[in-house]
C-alpha cells in the first residue's frame, strides 16, 4: 500500500468495499448501522482482504435521499456518529492497512443547507448564485423541458419569483458551478477531509456538475439506454458539459498535493468507454471512473470481454479501470446477473477479482447476498417511493446478515431494523465463515490470490478467446477460464496449472473439463 515512484498508486490492484453505513452494523440498537458498528467489525474486512472502504454518505442530512442531500459538508450525521468516531475509524482502519473513502455530493445540496436557506431568502442574497435560478418563460412556463430523476419537471417554483433547478428531488437543489465561490467552497471541503486522513472520495453524479449556460432544451432520446437519457430525453444540456472537466483538473491537483495521493473515484454515468475515458482526462482528472456499461451489461462473456477491451484501450496511459457489479442504486449482481444461482455468483466474483485495475465490492457481495423483496409498506427510499415503476432501491440496501441470532448480528434482539432483513433468512456470514466451500471463503481466497499474484500494479490483460460461452483471458501471470454456460466445456488450451476453482463441489473435476458455470484461475 505504498506509493511508488514508477507511477503505481495505492488503488491500482486494490479492492474497495462499498459499505452502506446504515445497513452494516448497528452498535447502539437504534435500528440503523453506524460508524462505531464499522469500527467493531474492521477485522472482518481486513480478513476478507479489502484495501479500502467507501462509506455511503456520512454527512448531516435531512435524508430525503439518505444522505445524498447534504446540509453540512464538514460534519458527521448524528445518527451515524461523531467526527471523533470517524477519526477513530480512519485510525483503526489504517492500523489494519485499510483506507477510508467518503461519499462527496457536489452536484446539489439539501434545501436545508444554509447556502440554500440564504439563497432562497431573496434575489439579492449572498448565496443566490450558488444555485441555478431561472425566470419563467414569457408565457409563464418552466425555463426548459428538463425532467428530474423521477420523471417530473426539474424546476421548482419559488416565492422569490424564480424557478430553481433540481435534477434529483425538489429538496436537492443543483449547485451552480458557473459561480467561482462554489469552486472555492469545495476546494476547502476536499482539504478539510484530506487533512483528517480521508483517502479520497467517491464523487456523486460526477458527470453532472455544470449545466448548459443557456439552459437549452434536451433533445429526444432514441432507444432505451438509461446511460444515454431517461424519460424520453437525452442527457445533453443537463450533464456531461465540457466545463466539468476543469473542476476535476483542479481537484486532481489538490489530491496530488497529499501523500499518499488522494483518490477521486467518480460516479460517471456515461454510455461508453470513450466518454468514460474523458473523465480521466490526460490522466489529470479523476483517477477512477465507475464503468456503468460493464455493470449494466448482461452476464454475457462476449459482451463483458468487449467492454473490458474497449475500456482498457480508451483510458490514458498510466490510468486504471474500476469494475463493480452491485451498488445501492443498481441492485445486487447476485440477483441481476445471476438470478441467485450460486454457481454464477461465484463465477462473477472470480471475474471481478481477476480483472486488471481496481475492483469495488458492495457489502454482501462476498456472501452472495441477493436483493431483498421489501414490501411496499416497509420501503424507505423516499426518492422512488411514489414514482410509478420506481426503482425500489431499497432492495439492495437491507441490513447485512451477520448471524442467525435475533437481530441477525446487525442490531440488538427485539430492535426493528430500519429496513427488513431477508425473509426467509439468507446464508449469513456466520454460516459461511468457517466453511471452506462457502462463497465467503471463495471470495477470501480470490482476494488473497489477487494480492499475491496480481500485486499492486496495473496487471496487463489480454482477451484470449470467447468461444462457445467460455471466456479465457490472461491477467498478469495468470490465465482465467470461465464457463458461462449450463453445459460442461473443454478446458481451453491456454489454461495451465489450476490454482483456484469456483466450484463448491468436493470431487475433483474430470481432467480437462470445466463444469457448467465453473471458472478457474490457472498459471501457465
- List of residues contacting ligand GLC (CB under 6 A): 65, 68, 105, 168, 204-205, 267, 328-329, 383
Nearer CB in complex with ligand GLC: 105/446:
105
217 is catalytic: no
Nearer CB in complex with ligand GLC: 167/522:
167
Beta carbons of 21 and 80 less than 8 angstroms apart: yes
Marked catalytic residue, from 204, 228, 285, 371: 204
Q: How far is the CB of 67 from ligand GLC (least distance, A)?
A: 9
Q: Is 233 helix (H, G, I), strand (E, B) or coil?
A: strand
Radius of gyration of the chain (CA): 23
Cβ count within 10 A of residue 351: 26
Nearer CB in complex with ligand GLC: 12/211:
211
Q: How far is the CB of 38 from ligand GLC (least distance, A)?
A: 19
Q: How far is Cα 347 from Cα 345, in angstroms, rounded to an integer?
A: 5
Cell 481451453 belongs to which residue? 492
Q: Is 146 helix (H, G, I), strand (E, B) or coil?
A: coil
Nearer CB in complex with ligand GLC: 379/450:
379
Marked catalytic residue, from 267, 285, 365, 518: 267
Nearer CB in complex with ligand GLC: 50/105:
105
Nearer CB in complex with ligand GLC: 329/453:
329
Q: How far is the CB of 379 from ligand GLC (least distance, A)?
A: 14
139 is catalytic: no
CA of 243: how far to CAs of 108, 211, 213, 278, 513, in Å? 17, 9, 10, 12, 53
Closest CA to 247 of 303, 290, 206, 299: 206
Q: How far is the CB of 397 from ligand GLC (least distance, A)?
A: 9
Cβ-count burial 354-381 (b if 16+ within 10 Å, e if not): bbbbbbbbbbbbbbbbbbbebeeeebbb
Closest CA to 369 of 326, 329, 433, 404: 326
Q: Per residue, what are the HEC states of 234-294?
A: ECCCCCCCCCHHHHHHHHHHHHHCCCCCCEEEECCCCCCHHHHHHCCCCCCCCCEECCHHH
Nearer CB in complex with ligand GLC: 179/329:
329
What residues have CB less than 8 Å from 445, skipping those under 6 apart?
500
Q: How far is the CB of 300 from ligand GLC (least distance, A)?
A: 25
Q: How far is the CB of 384 from ligand GLC (least distance, A)?
A: 9
Q: How far is the CB of 399 from ligand GLC (least distance, A)?
A: 18
Angle of CA points 42, 434, 426, to nearest 5° = 80
Q: Which residues are catalytic?
A: 204, 267
Amino acid at each position: 500500500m505504498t506509493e511508488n515512484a514508477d507511477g503505481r498508486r495505492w488503488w491500482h490492484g486494490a479492492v474497495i468495499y462499498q459499505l452502506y453505513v446504515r445497513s452494516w452494523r448497528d452498535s447502539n440498537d437504534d435500528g440503523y448501522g453506524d460508524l462505531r458498528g464499522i469500527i467493531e467489525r474492521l477485522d472482518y474486512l481486513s480478513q476478507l482482504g479489502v484495501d479500502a472502504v467507501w462509506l455511503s454518505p456520512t454527512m448531516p442530512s435531512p435524508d430525503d435521499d439518505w444522505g445524498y442531500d447534504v446540509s453540512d459538508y464538514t460534519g458527521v450525521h448524528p445518527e451515524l456518529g461523531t467526527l471523533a468516531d470517524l477519526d477513530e475509524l480512519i485510525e483503526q482502519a489504517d492500523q489494519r492497512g485499510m483506507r477510508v473513502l467518503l461519499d462527496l455530493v457536489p452536484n446539489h445540496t439539501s434545501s436545508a443547507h444554509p447556502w440554500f436557506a440564504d439563497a432562497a431568502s431573496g434575489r439579492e442574497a449572498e448565496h443566490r448564485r450558488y444555485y441555478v435560478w431561472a425566470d419563467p418563460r414569457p408565457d409563464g412556463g418552466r425555463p426548459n423541458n428538463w425532467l428530474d430523476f423521477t420523471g417530473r419537471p426539474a424546476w421548482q417554483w419559488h416565492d422569490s419569483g424564480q424557478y430553481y433547478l433540481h435534477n434529483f428531488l425538489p429538496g436537492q437543489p443543483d449547485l451552480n458551478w458557473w459561480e467561482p465561490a462554489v469552486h472555492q467552497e469545495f476546494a476547502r471541503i476536499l482539504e478539510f477531509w484530506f487533512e483528517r486522513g480521508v483517502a479520497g472520495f467517491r464523487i456523486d453524479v460526477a458527470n453532472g456538475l455544470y449545466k448548459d449556460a443557456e439552459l437549452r432544451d434536451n433533445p429526444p432520446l432514441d432507444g432505451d439506454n438509461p446511460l444515454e437519457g431517461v424519460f424520453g430525453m437525452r442527457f445533453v444540456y443537463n450533464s456531461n458539459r465540457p466545463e466539468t472537466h476543469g473542476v476535476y483538473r483542479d481537484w486532481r491537483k489538490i489530491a496530488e498535493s497529499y501523500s499518499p495521493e488522494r483518490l477521486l473515484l467518480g460516479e460517471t454515468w456515461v454510455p461508453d468507454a470513450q466518454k468514460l475515458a474523458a473523465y480521466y482526462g490526460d490522466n489529470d482528472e479523476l483517477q477512477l471512473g465507475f464503468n456503468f456499461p460493464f455493470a449494466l451489461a448482461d452476464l454475457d462473456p462476449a459482451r463483458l470481454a468487449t467492454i473490458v477491451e474497449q475500456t482498457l484501450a480508451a483510458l490514458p496511459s498510466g490510468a486504471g479501470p474500476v469494475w463493480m457489479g452491485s451498488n445501492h442504486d443498481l441492485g445486487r449482481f447476485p440477483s441481476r446477473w445471476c438470478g441467485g444461482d450460486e454457481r454464477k455468483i461465484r463465477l462473477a466474483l472470480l471475474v471481478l477479482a481477476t480483472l486488471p485495475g481496481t475492483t469495488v465490492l458492495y457489502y454482501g457481495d462476498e456472501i452472495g447476498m441477493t436483493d431483498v423483496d421489501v414490501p411496499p409498506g416497509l420501503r424507505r427510499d423516499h426518492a422512488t417511493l411514489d414514482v410509478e415503476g420506481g426503482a425500489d432501491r431499497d432492495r439492495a440496501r437491507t441490513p447485512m446478515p451477520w448471524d442467525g441470532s435475533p437481530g441477525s448480528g446487525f442490531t440488538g434482539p427485539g430492535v426493528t431494523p430500519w429496513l427488513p432483513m431477508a425473509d426467509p433468512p439468507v446464508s449469513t456470514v456466520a454460516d459461511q465463515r468457517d466453511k471452506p466451500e462457502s462463497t465467503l471463503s471463495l471470495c477470501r481466497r480470490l482476494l488473497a490470490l489477487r494480492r499475491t499474484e496480481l500485486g499492486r500494479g496495473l496487471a496487463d490483460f489480454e482477451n484470449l478467446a470467447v468461444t462457445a460461452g467460455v471466456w479465457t483471458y490472461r491477467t498478469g501471470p495468470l490465465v482465467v477460464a470461465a464457463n458461462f454456460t449450463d453445459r460442461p466445456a473443454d478446458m481451453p488450451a491456454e489454461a495451465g496449472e489450476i490454482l483456484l476453482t469456483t466450484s463448491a463441489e468436493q470431487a475433483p473435476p474430470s481432467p480437462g473439463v470445466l463444469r457448467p458455470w465453473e471458472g478457474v484461475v490457472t498459471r501457465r
